[in-house]
């Protein structure tokens, strides 16, 4: 499965950072706070109408993918959001550190957040940040990063591009009990790349699981236009019931109204790039009901392809 929920871990770390007071907050810390991504920077936005019994099948699949993606974003940003509005424990020039703090769920572990500021140019800043864990009583060399990220401003402190990396394998190898969280037990790592400097705003998420997982990886690529229209491609890499490798890909496009189209393909021969088998197309209106539907494998087709907006 690649539908990860990070909630348990997020709550544990939030509980730790919750011990921080909000006083003694310096204006010099503002750059650090503004550099942290917010949910709106990395979430998918689509006019999601109420699902109906006769909603288009691929509309429902798109809706589910968006909900899954945004749930992961909420939990991921919650981990980063630990320090927003809280004063650092220490300030060392262009470095800020929050912690270390006790881990509420695992008392033998503790947590800290580190952020570094550097100058790219006279108008651009770069921020690097780490959420780290270590066994209580160990030296600084024992810190292992659970989440890392960076942000480069462009135009203003709140616009730019950034990366976020959730490193499940790193803390697993350090014997942190991450596998107690069922939503993370198969995860190797998760990467997010985003840009909100100009339209189209883009977000890409890649999820890579451990080798024993049935689904090896999944990717989401999303672009949002200023008028509210957007496009999202999401795929799963795994195996068929017979054990053959496969990649299923759905590409969904929509207008600001929510009316849109989705196409599903599968690559059953990943070593021969470009050989794709179409599995279906759905187009739908603002009411989410299919205006056109085609399933080549079942040789079924309904509605008119002229009704498709894309």
Q: Is 33 among the domain residues?
A: no
Q: Is 35 among the domain residues?
A: no
Calculate what percentage of the chain has a pLDDT beyond 70: 86
Q: Is pLDDT above 50 for 184?
A: yes
Q: What is the pLDDT of residue 238?
A: 67
Query: What band does 21 get if pLDDT is binned at 50, 70 and 90?
Result: very low
DSSP conformation class of 37 = P
Q: Is 28 among the domain residues?
A: no
Three-state SS for 78-120 is HHHHHHCCCCCCEEECCEEEEEEEECCCCCCEEEEEEEEEEEC
Query: What band does 277 get if pLDDT is binned at 50, 70 and 90?
Result: confident
Across the range 166-189, mean pLDDT stands at: 92
Q: Is 39 among the domain residues?
A: no
Q: Is 40 among the domain residues?
A: no
Q: What is the pLDDT of residue 13?
A: 46
Higher pLDDT, 67 or 274: 67
The Cα–Cα gap between 58 and 230 comes to 16
16: containing domain: 7-20+50-307
- The long-range contacts involving 221-224, CB below 8 angstroms and separated by at least 24 positions, are 222/44, 222/69, 224/44, 224/45, 224/199, 224/200
Q: Is 138 among the domain residues?
A: yes
Query: How many domains would you assign to the chain?
Result: 1
For residue 19, CA distances in Å to 91, 144, 199, 262, 277 come to 18, 21, 39, 46, 54
The CA-based dihedral angle spanning residues 205, 210, 212, 214, taken in that order and rounded to the nearest 10 degrees: -10
For residue 184, CA distances in Å to 9, 107, 135, 187, 214 come to 9, 20, 20, 5, 14
Q: What is the pLDDT of residue 10?
A: 47
Q: Is 42 among the domain residues?
A: no
DSSP conformation class of 23 = -
Angle of the 7-17 helix axis to the 57-80 helix axis, nearest 10: 20
Q: Is 202 among the domain residues?
A: yes
The Cα–Cα gap between 36 and 308 comes to 39
């Amino acid at each position: 499965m690649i539908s990860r929920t990070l909630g348990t871990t997020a709550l544990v770390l939030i509980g730790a950072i919750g011990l921080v007071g909000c006083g003694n907050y310096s204006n010099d810390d503002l750059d650090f706070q503004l550099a942290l991504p917010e949910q709106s920077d990395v979430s998918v936005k689509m006019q999601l109408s109420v699902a109906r019994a006769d909603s288009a099948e691929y509309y429902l699949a798109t809706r589910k993918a968006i909900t899954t993606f945004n749930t992961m974003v909420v939990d991921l940003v919650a981990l980063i959001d630990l320090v927003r509005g809280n004063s650092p424990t220490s300030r060392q020039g262009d470095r800020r550190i929050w912690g270390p703090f006790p881990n509420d769920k695992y008392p033998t572990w503790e947590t800290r957040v580190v952020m570094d500021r550097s100058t790219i140019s006279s108008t651009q800043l770069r921020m690097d940040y780490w959420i780290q864990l270590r066994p209580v009583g160990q030296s600084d060399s024992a810190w292992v990063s659970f989440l890392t990220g960076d942000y480069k401003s462009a135009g203003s402190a709140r616009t730019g591009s950034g990366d976020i990396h959730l490193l499940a394998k790193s803390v697993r190898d350090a014997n942190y009990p991450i596998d107690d969280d069922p939503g993370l037990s198969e995860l190797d790592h998760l990467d997010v790349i985003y840009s909100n400097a100009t339209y189209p705003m883009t977000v890409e998420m890649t999820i890579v699981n451990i080798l024993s997982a049935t689904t090896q990886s999944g990717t989401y690529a999303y672009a949002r236009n200023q008028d509210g229209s957007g496009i999202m491609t999401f795929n799963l890499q795994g195996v068929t019931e017979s054990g053959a490798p496969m990649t299923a890909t759905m590409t969904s496009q929509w207008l600001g109204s929510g009316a849109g189209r989705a196409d599903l393909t599968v690559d059953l021969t990943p070593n021969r790039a470009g050989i794709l088998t179409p599995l279906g197309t759905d187009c739908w209106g603002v009411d989410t009901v299919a205006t056109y539907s085609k399933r080549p494998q079942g040789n079924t087709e309904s509605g008119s392809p002229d009704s498709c907006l894309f």
